[in-house]
Structure 1
Amino acid sequence: MRKALALSLCAVLLGGCASNPADRDISGTWINQVAIDAAAKGGPLREALQAYGPNLEWDVNTKAAQARYTNGFENVEGKLLGEKPGAWAVDFYGSSATELKRDGKQLSQAASENEPEQVFDRAVIPVPEGAPIGASFERALYSAYMGGSWQVVSGNGEGNTVQFQADGQVTGLPGADRYALCLAGDCASMSGGNDSIWLQQGGQGNSWIFARKGKTLEIFQSVNTALADEMPSYTAGDRKWLLEKQ
């Protein structure tokens, strides 16, 4: 009896010390919060994304053995090969596998030949059902980088209070009711080393160059310096607005 009781107590103790399956679960949406935090300090957006990217968001479904990510330009789908001790391998249909590992409240993507090690946090800002991958990162970035109230110090609408919403709406900026930040892809290639923002109203819009320096935001006209038969190459022209964060 005493032996049975001792064995039972040992099993309980061992069970309590064993790792909780929930601590290894990597299902859900994970965003590159480190890049967002770096951008939120008020510097150039592309520098922060390049320093801590290139991947922006992971979406993982362990039950369906599926994992996908986006780098802001392309969406890549892979298959979970199964859990190894403390990690999951993701196969991208012929290319080298990527390893994902849960480390407490963060998801780590192991370094590879093509990419550095990257860290992701669970997304907390809700997005509409059916939203495309990357929407969680985008909303978190917009909230941290563009959130709050801005005042038009110089330019059309001087004195206005401007608010950039996490869902891409903007109020108080004359001629615009929607905006989108360029994260990667053609818009980044065409703007060289500059940050760019898309502003539109009623479905019609244009790309603008912007420069963020602490609590100031300058928005410039985009000037195409390429020839007619070349890929567009935009540089900053005349300043349209100077905004200051309140």
Structure 2
Amino acid sequence: MASWFFPEPLRLALAGLALSSLLLAGCSGRSVDGIWINQAAIDAAVADDSLREALLAYGPNLEWRVQAARGLARFSNGFEQGEGCLQALAEGGWQVDFGLDEHEQLRRSGAELLQGEGPSWPAQRFRRYAASVDESPLGSHFEAALYRAYLGGSWLITQGLGERGLVLFHADGRVEGLPGAERYALCLAGDCAAMAGEHDSLWLQQGAQGQTWLFRREGEQLRIFQAINQSAADEMPSYQPGAEVWRLQRD
């Protein structure tokens, strides 16, 4: 059997390369790189029906995009977006600095990314959606996962215009089969949430025209109501449910 002899410097270099490869392999499993979504909020919304309550309980942040090599981390809470400088901490984990003494701490725990407790919200858990960051709009992967889980499948109109027709809510915001609408968006945060108060709301749009509606999901049933503004003309709208316009049943 042939044997190979390597000079001492080369042998040490090869051994170092092998060790480096092992270390990198071990670190890759702990990487914070990628797109991370707030799956706990999605699961809670699906289980308990109320999207608003799930986001309040498991928010506020809905998606993180982390690129350690660039020292960059970005987040979306469904209304605002933030971008900060990512740096490793000596005790483990990472810190995201946003300036003006604002920062967040991130660390891996098994398959999850943990965000530390904030001044007015608890610690949050995120599940990796993709191992690398793409160029899609920030927050869009959380929205797609939410739309797929919360409104996926086919819905039968059991009451309202288009009765007995099938409605499909697509993960990219398209809606088929709902009369007068071709796009939809669930309200996640910001002004639309403030205006809807304790109710869930969505936006339905046809062409350039759209309006706010209130909805209530009850298991496999979806009820959509007119949004009646209770405020004066010079005040921010405050919506209450009016007439029930559609009732849908998931097949």
Cα deviations across residues 131-170 of structure 1 (Å, max 9, x unaligned)? Answer: 2110000000000001001100000000001110000011
Q: Does 1:119 align with 2:125?
A: yes
CA RMSD of the aligned region, Å? 2.3
Q: Does 1:191 align with 2:196?
A: yes
The equivalent of 1:4 in structure 2 is none
Which consecutive residues of structure 1, in runs of 5 or more, have no partner in the other structure?
A: 1-11
Q: CA separation in 2, counterparts of 1:72 and 1:46?
A: 12
Q: Quick one: structure 1 residues 244 and 40, their matched pair in 2 at CA, closer, same or farther if it must change by over 3 Å?
A: same
Q: CA separation in 1, counterparts of 2:230 and 2:184?
A: 24
1:66-215 matches, within 5 Å, as 66-123=72-129, 130-215=135-220
Report the TM-score, using the length of structure 2 for normalisation. Answer: 0.87
Which consecutive residues of structure 2, in runs of 5 or more, have no partner in the other structure?
A: 1-17
Greater mean alpha carbon deviation, residues 191-200 or residues 19-28: 19-28
Q: Does 1:221 align with 2:221?
A: no
Q: Which amino acid aligns with 1:87?
A: G
Q: CA separation in 1, counterparts of 2:120 and 2:73?
A: 18
Q: CA separation in 2, counterparts of 1:178 and 1:243?
A: 17
Structure of higher CA gyration radius: 2
Q: Does 1:59 align with 2:28?
A: no
Q: Which amino acid aligns with 2:233?
A: A
Shift of 1:25: 1.0
Match of 2:56 among 42, 50, 62: 50
Shift of 1:115: 2.6
The question of whether the paired residues in 2 share the 8 Å contact of 1:197 and 1:209 is answered with yes
The equivalent of 1:9 in structure 2 is none
Q: Quick one: structure 1 residues 151 and 42, their matched pair in 2 at CA, closer, same or farther if it must change by over 3 Å?
A: farther
Q: Quick one: structure 1 residues 85 and 18, their matched pair in 2 at CA, closer, same or farther if it must change by over 3 Å?
A: farther
Shift of 1:204: 1.2
Shift of 1:203: 2.2
Q: CA separation in 1, counterparts of 2:81 and 2:90?
A: 25
The equivalent of 2:243 in structure 1 is 238
The question of whether the paired residues in 2 share the 8 Å contact of 1:164 and 1:171 is answered with yes
Q: Which amino acid aligns with 2:186?
A: L
- Determine what percentage of the aligned residue pairs are the same residue: 51
